[in-house]
Amino acid sequence: MLQLPKVIGHRGAMAYAPENTLESFREAAKHGATWVEIDVKLTADGVPIVMHDPSLKRTMGIDRLVADMRAAELPAAVPTFEQAIACFGELGLGCNVEIKPCDGREEETARVTVATLRKHWPSSLPAPLLSSFKDASLAAAKQAAPEFARALLIGELKDDWHGRAATLAAAGINTNGKQLTAPRAIEVKKAGYALSAYTINDPEVARMLVAMGVDCIITDAPDLILAGLGR
Ligand code: G3P
Ligand code: MG
């Protein structure tokens, strides 16, 4: 089965630094994380960058869409995926790479993401885990680079989760921990998947999820959750 750490820093460690920045990855490592989760999408000229929203407005105060901007126009605080990978190499961090495509670029974003990983991912690090809410992205990743483990991101697990995960040959399910029920957690674990829950910042909730069978907690504050889990 897919081996994941007990805790993954969400967008780096967004409780301590601006999300999805090199500073956030450094803070994650400082606060005990051994892995981080990041969101990858493409610029207008096809460069993979680390950014959650389709627009730069919320995080960078620039009212423009990523899909309309060339990489050279981005503020320096927005890392390219390649810069992020180099930073993980320096810090010794593993990564859950969430493929977060702009609309209509589901397959292309996955193909560029895995090509970048093949070229730049340091062999000294644990193999990355790909995840996405988009079945089309995971299907494209599976076709282009089956060697990278995949996790299906699902907000709330419904009855169709297993069929989707099986079609994508996913090794893991990453789900919203606040919507996860014990019966669903048991179902996922019985079926042999690694189970991760996001975005959990309350140590008590983290303990409850781990007791339900959750393997990995994705959190903005890795130190709090590690302490809460007695690690
Ligand atoms: O990958 C876990 C989590 O990041 C998924 O939701 O919206 O924070 O990317 P979001
Ligand atoms: Mg994400």
Q: How many whole angstroms separate alpha carbon 21 and alpha carbon 80?
A: 10
Residue 174 CB–ligand 1 contact under 6 Å: yes
Instruction: Write down the pLDDT at residue 231.
Output: 83
Take atom 4 of ligand 1 and give the residue whose Cα is closest: 10
Instruction: Write down the pLDDT at residue 36.
Output: 99
Q: How many whole angstroms separate alpha carbon 222 and alpha carbon 29?
A: 9
Residue 98 CB–ligand 1 contact under 6 Å: yes
Q: How many whole angstroms separate alpha carbon 216 and alpha carbon 115?
A: 26
All domains of the chain in start order, with CATH: 7-172 (3.20.20.190)
Indicate the helix (H) or strand (E) that contains 225.
Answer: helix 222-228
- Residue 173 has phi, psi (to 5 degrees) of -120, 125
Residue 106 CB–ligand 1 contact under 6 Å: no
Take atom 3 of ligand 1 and give the residue whose Cα is closest: 198
First-residue to last-residue Cα distance in the chain? 22
Q: Which residues of the chain, if any, have pLDDT below 50? A: none
Per-residue pLDDT tens digits for 91-138 = 999 999 999 999 999 999 999 999 999 999 999 999 999 999 999 999
Pocket probe for ligand 1: among 4, 39, 59, the residue whose CB has the most ligand atoms within 8 Å is 39
